[in-house]
Structure 1
Amino acid sequence: MTARILIVDDMDVNLRLMQARLTAEYFEVLTATSGADAIAICERETIDLVLLDVMMPDMDGYEVCRRLKGNARTRHLPIVLITSLDQPADRVAGLEAGADDFLTKPVRDLQLFSRVRSLVRLKILTDELRIRTETTASLVARHDVMAELAGRAPSGRLMVFDDDTGLASRIKRILKTEHVVEATREPAAVLHDEASSAYDLFVVNLATASYDGLRLCSQVRSSDLLRQVPILLVSDFADDVRTAKALELGANDYLASPLDRNELLARVRTQIKRKRYDDGLRQSLRETIALAVTDSLTGLNNRRFLESHLPVVIERARTDAKPLSVLIADIDHFKRINDGWGHDAGDAVLKEFAARLKDSLRASDLACRFGGEEFVILMPEADGRTAQIIAERLRSLVADAPFDVAGEAILVTVSAGIAVLDPATDDWESLLKRADRGLYEAKRNGRNQVVALAA
């Protein structure tokens, strides 16, 4: 895995040494000697990760970090602070400024490369979600989505995996003021419980005797149910090799024991905030995709969805040698409803018609609003006789009971045309056109009826 990394340090010798180490690992490296230059580069260039020295003149690393995280364009950049300061309070200050990690000089290769690769991997996944969400949000004018997600509160629900009850109890005591914390000595029970996907963070003690912490990380990341739950490791300070392996397997972060209270709180906040953000991206993506293919008034799929989906349904019918029927229905004299009772009444009729339409269909049928007062129903595995029965049921459901609009009963009827797929000659356009001709015949013959036209 390669990436574009920006190194920021006011000492030229430090820049050159770090650049040489990263270049040897096939990373593309950019450099900056001041905080102002770093911010300008991040706003101008595509950067995957920033390695940022804390002690710099004019603007220190903490301030650079705060500014980058406060800018909508650069807030998603992973930032690793690098400094000779090694007190827990220094690490906490960096994490609270928005840094994703903190490395103490001299930085060893194992720490550096495992951190870089882990954070770059997470950024790539988040970027893909973010880009898709921004694209789909723009289609439905939801321009506030990203800012809304970025500001979500970080409190959450955690599970601690540990066979050391003393350590688990200490973690609980530290975190209970901000989070709901549970603990287990039996990982298998959690791994196979569907409810476990609701956790916001797994805390894994790597130095356990009763189970393999590395195996647990691997199992979480290979689980469709749990792979989105972040993993925070607790490891011995000297256990660099296993910690690096755990990060390679998909763990998100780690802290060394003995635990520092403030650092634990800060790292947990960071991980939960990132998970909530990514979860929000996924949810927003699902919602905006749904909005893009759904008619907002009736809740039915829209024309865009129909024109994408119908060719797939036709190809499946051909492959399976199964019948397929299409019905186009149009509310009769709908303009009179709008002119006589107003557009609000017209909208109410469309909503009620959609509800009755759903009641007339089989579970396998799909109804779409084609436009205005026109609707299309796809009926897989329905031959002409079955399609006629479904269409007549719809016609009766509409005509037999008046529509209640603002306390007034309005009589409504519907006309419909049916076309049955001819696998040898039909494409989606010809199938719709034939159903539309049937609808035209029903209108011409007096309305409130169903007409089926052969190929």
Structure 2
Amino acid sequence: MSARILVVDDILANRRLMQAKLEAKYYSVLLAENGKTALEMAEAEKPEIILLDVMMPGMDGYEVCRRLKANTATTHIPVVMLTALNETADRVRGLAAGADDFLTKPVDDFALMSRINALNRYNAVALELRKREASGVQSGALTDDEHEVLERGANILVVDSSPSTLRYIREPLTQAGHTVMTLEEAEGVSSSSNRSLDIVLLALSHQPYDPLRLCAHFRANDATRALSIIVMAEERDKQVVAQALDLGASDVINTPVVPEEVVARVATQTRRARYIEILRQRVDKGLELSVVDQLTGLYNRRYMNNQLTLWLRRSAQGGAPMSVVAADIDHFKQVNDKYGHEAGDYVLQEFANRIMVNVRPKDIVCRPGGEEFLIIMPETTGDLACSAAERIRRSIAAEPFEIGARSGQEINVTVSAGVATYAGEEDTVADLLKRADTALYNAKTAGRNQVKAMAA
């Protein structure tokens, strides 16, 4: 999978060497010689990954990374920091600044490509979700609730046959707000807790089990596919680490592990996984907004038209007849004029509720607009549709409607309805709706609070 990668380094030779390595793997490379240029190029060019040198004059890599993550236009771009420094404190500082990974110079080609491949997989999911996002909320511009979700402690499963590893990292992870458990402990709480796992810390080196098979199992199982898997391995075990990354591992920690680095990488992976989940929820919400009327919870006109086309086509292809019921609240304008639009909203919501309890699960109840409602009744003859419409009419008229949450006021509401049924292969959605509207008009002119049918 190719990608555009921005390489930021103040030394020209370093930039050219990294460019040659990346272009040999068919990546598209952008170059920046300092932090200021990097910030400008990141916002203008939107690279998929940024390789960022730490030690630069003027603005160091830590500050550049903080600014990238603070800018909503670039906060989603993964950053891998590159430095000659090899102290744990330096790695932790980079991760705390928002870096997604940290590599030590001279950069090992295997480690570099493994990180890039892992970030490419993450980017592919995130980019697709951002493209499909339909909620109108700009990607990266998180709400306060979403920020709280990102920073909430993670549930972590440690899979390691060595008890010393768990003892070594449990306390710092717990102090950071995370919950840590072993396989045995997880089995003990699975039946009594609704907590879901966020992170798996999976040891690769010197294990009595096959860690790669376990990694593949996590990725193949629907319940664990979204987990972030951080593998722990000795630096010499490059081949098994490469296989783990190919199988979907998210990150690598060299053993013996350093608690501060584990805490920083867990925080990074947790934020990344939850960012993806936030995007998924936004997409789901956007899809819902595109087909559902927000006041009543019924389907809107767009969904109604799609379903009408679908069911009419099925009837034309030899399926059972279908019918529609067009319903209109009688004298609804008077409700708004006399009691206000808030009271009108209460009436619309209660009206929708009474319809829903009087239709079948397969019926499709829509609110195309205002006080107009349409019920699509698949596999339903005209007689049955008239009976259903009459049942709804009686339910509406049976009891007064409350017009406020605390006002205690009630008003009587009635409905007029028109029924139309599929009329044969030449029938169209427009024709069907026109007949239903004509029947509804006849019900209104005949005195309201009644059901009329329109013959084909």
- Structure 2 residue 27 is matched with structure 1 residue 32: no
- Residue 180 of structure 2 aligns with which residue? 181
Distance 1:120 1:98 in 2: 18
1:253 to 251, 272, 292: 251
Preserved CA contact (<8 Å) 1:162 1:208: no
Distance 1:186 1:299 in 2: 42
Equivalent residues in 2 for 1:257-406, closer than 5 Å: 257-319=255-317, 321-405=319-403, 406=407
How far residue 203 of structure 1 moved from its aligned partner, in angstroms, is: 1.4
Q: 1:378 to 1:46 in 2, by over 3 A?
A: same
Distance 2:178 2:226 in 1: 19
How far residue 239 of structure 1 moved from its aligned partner, in angstroms, is: 0.7
Q: Secondary structure at the match of 2:82?
A: strand
Q: Count how many residue pairs are aligned between Structure 1 and Structure 2.
A: 448
Q: Secondary structure at the match of 1:199?
A: coil
Q: Secondary structure at the match of 2:151?
A: coil
Preserved CA contact (<8 Å) 1:418 1:439: yes
Distance 1:20 1:404 in 2: 73
Q: Secondary structure at the match of 1:288?
A: helix
How far residue 232 of structure 1 moved from its aligned partner, in angstroms, is: 0.9
Distance 2:81 2:139 in 1: 30
Q: 1:430 to 1:261 in 2, by over 3 A?
A: same
Equivalent residues in 2 for 1:34-433, closer than 5 Å: 34-133=34-133, 136-138=134-136, 142=137, 146-148=141-143, 149=146, 152-177=150-175, 178-184=177-183, 198-207=196-205, 209-319=207-317, 321-405=319-403, 406-433=407-434
Preserved CA contact (<8 Å) 1:163 1:184: no
Preserved CA contact (<8 Å) 1:194 1:225: no
Q: Which shifted more, 168-177 or 246-255?
A: 168-177
Q: Which residue type is aligned with residue 33 of structure 1?
A: E
Q: 1:143 to 1:36 in 2, by over 3 A?
A: closer
Distance 2:409 2:181 in 1: 57
Preserved CA contact (<8 Å) 2:72 2:140: no
Preserved CA contact (<8 Å) 1:164 1:208: no
Distance 1:110 1:120 in 2: 15
Preserved CA contact (<8 Å) 2:159 2:201: yes
> Which runs of no fewer than 5 residues in structure 2 stay unpaired?
none
Distance 1:339 1:386 in 2: 36
Q: Which shifted more, 28-37 or 223-232?
A: 223-232
Q: 1:173 to 1:53 in 2, by over 3 A?
A: same
Q: Which shifted more, 418-427 or 243-252?
A: 418-427
Preserved CA contact (<8 Å) 2:76 2:140: no
Distance 2:320 2:185 in 1: 50
Superposed CA deviations along residues 24-78 of structure 1, whole A, max 9, x for unmatched, are: 1100111111111111111111301111111111111111111111111111111
Q: Which residue type is aligned with residue 435 of structure 2?
A: R
Distance 1:241 1:86 in 2: 23
Q: Secondary structure at the match of 1:76?
A: coil
How far residue 172 of structure 1 moved from its aligned partner, in angstroms, is: 2.2
Superposed CA deviations along residues 304-340 of structure 1, whole A, max 9, x for unmatched, are: 2212332223334445612221111001111222223
> Which runs of no fewer than 5 residues in structure 1 stay unpaired?
none
Preserved CA contact (<8 Å) 1:6 1:51: yes
Preserved CA contact (<8 Å) 1:137 1:145: no
Preserved CA contact (<8 Å) 2:75 2:140: no
Q: Which shifted more, 314-323 or 164-173?
A: 314-323
Distance 2:246 2:318 in 1: 45
How far residue 108 of structure 1 moved from its aligned partner, in angstroms, is: 1.7
Distance 1:432 1:145 in 2: 43
Of all paired residues, the percent bearing the same amino acid is 45
Distance 1:55 1:448 in 2: 79
Superposed CA deviations along residues 55-108 of structure 1, whole A, max 9, x for unmatched, are: 111111111111111111111111111111111111101101111111111212
